[in-house]
Protein backbone atom coordinates (compact mmCIF):
# COMPACT_ATOMS: atom_id res chain seq x y z
CA UNK A 1 0.00 0.00 0.00
CA UNK A 2 2.88 2.37 0.64
CA UNK A 3 4.11 1.86 -2.90
CA UNK A 4 0.60 2.47 -4.27
CA UNK A 5 -0.05 5.52 -2.09
CA UNK A 6 3.42 6.87 -2.88
CA UNK A 7 2.84 6.23 -6.59
CA UNK A 8 6.07 4.21 -6.71
CA UNK A 9 5.19 1.99 -9.69
CA UNK A 10 8.58 0.28 -9.87
CA UNK A 11 8.41 -0.78 -6.23
CA UNK A 12 4.78 -1.86 -6.60
CA UNK A 13 5.67 -4.05 -9.60
CA UNK A 14 8.57 -5.67 -7.71
CA UNK A 15 6.37 -6.39 -4.69
CA UNK A 16 3.58 -7.84 -6.84
CA UNK A 17 6.05 -10.02 -8.77
CA UNK A 18 7.51 -11.34 -5.52
CA UNK A 19 4.02 -12.08 -4.13
CA UNK A 20 2.97 -13.91 -7.30
CA UNK A 21 6.17 -16.02 -7.18
CA UNK A 22 5.93 -16.84 -3.46
CA UNK A 23 5.60 -20.62 -2.93
CA UNK A 24 2.42 -21.94 -1.37
CA UNK A 25 2.12 -23.04 2.22
CA UNK A 26 1.31 -26.50 3.51
CA UNK A 27 -2.13 -27.84 2.67
CA UNK A 28 -4.86 -27.48 5.30
CA UNK A 29 -8.48 -28.46 5.86
CA UNK A 30 -9.90 -25.19 4.50
CA UNK A 31 -7.94 -25.50 1.27
CA UNK A 32 -8.96 -29.16 0.94
CA UNK A 33 -12.63 -28.29 1.36
CA UNK A 34 -12.39 -25.39 -1.08
CA UNK A 35 -10.65 -27.52 -3.71
CA UNK A 36 -13.36 -30.14 -3.33
CA UNK A 37 -16.26 -27.69 -3.56
CA UNK A 38 -14.90 -25.19 -6.05
CA UNK A 39 -12.33 -27.08 -8.11
CA UNK A 40 -13.70 -30.61 -8.19
CA UNK A 41 -11.06 -31.93 -5.81
CA UNK A 42 -8.00 -30.61 -7.69
CA UNK A 43 -4.70 -31.86 -6.32
CA UNK A 44 -2.78 -29.60 -3.90
CA UNK A 45 -0.04 -29.19 -6.50
CA UNK A 46 -2.53 -27.30 -8.68
CA UNK A 47 -2.32 -24.46 -6.13
CA UNK A 48 1.42 -24.32 -5.77
CA UNK A 49 1.72 -20.57 -5.35
CA UNK A 50 0.71 -18.59 -2.26
CA UNK A 51 -1.33 -16.11 -4.32
CA UNK A 52 -3.56 -18.92 -5.63
CA UNK A 53 -4.01 -20.32 -2.13
CA UNK A 54 -4.82 -16.89 -0.73
CA UNK A 55 -7.33 -16.29 -3.51
CA UNK A 56 -9.07 -19.57 -2.77
CA UNK A 57 -9.13 -18.79 0.97
CA UNK A 58 -10.66 -15.39 0.20
CA UNK A 59 -13.43 -17.04 -1.82
CA UNK A 60 -14.13 -19.34 1.12
CA UNK A 61 -14.35 -16.37 3.49
CA UNK A 62 -16.52 -14.30 1.17
CA UNK A 63 -18.89 -17.04 0.05
CA UNK A 64 -18.58 -20.41 1.82
CA UNK A 65 -18.60 -19.00 5.33
CA UNK A 66 -21.64 -16.86 4.55
CA UNK A 67 -24.01 -19.65 3.56
CA UNK A 68 -24.96 -23.14 4.67
CA UNK A 69 -22.63 -26.12 4.41
CA UNK A 70 -24.20 -27.64 1.29
CA UNK A 71 -23.68 -24.65 -1.03
CA UNK A 72 -27.36 -23.92 -1.53
CA UNK A 73 -28.09 -20.46 -2.94
CA UNK A 74 -24.39 -19.66 -3.30
CA UNK A 75 -23.80 -16.66 -5.57
CA UNK A 76 -20.22 -17.56 -6.45
CA UNK A 77 -20.94 -19.77 -9.52
CA UNK A 78 -23.23 -17.07 -10.91
CA UNK A 79 -20.57 -14.40 -10.44
CA UNK A 80 -17.96 -16.55 -12.20
CA UNK A 81 -20.31 -17.10 -15.16
CA UNK A 82 -20.78 -13.33 -15.47
CA UNK A 83 -17.03 -12.57 -15.65
CA UNK A 84 -15.83 -11.17 -18.94
CA UNK A 85 -12.23 -12.19 -19.57
CB of 20 closer than 8 Å to CB of 45 = no
Q: What is the pLDDT of residues 22-79, one digit of tens each?
A: 999 998 999 988 888 888 777 877 888 999 999 999 988 888 877 666 677 788 888 8
Q: Is 49 helix (H, G, I), strand (E, B) or coil?
A: strand
> What is the number of H-type helices and E-type strands within the chain?
5, 0
Q: Identify the helix (H) or strand (E) that includes residue 69.
A: none
pTM above 0.75, yes or no: no
pLDDT band at 82 (very low <50, low <70, confident <90, very high): confident
pLDDT at 16 (0 to 100) = 94
Identify each DSSP E strand in the chain by its residue range. Answer: none
User: Residue 10 pLDDT > 90, yes or no?
Assistant: yes
Amino acid sequence: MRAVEGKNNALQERIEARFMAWPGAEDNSVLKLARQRLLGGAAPRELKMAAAQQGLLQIVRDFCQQSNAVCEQCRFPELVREWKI
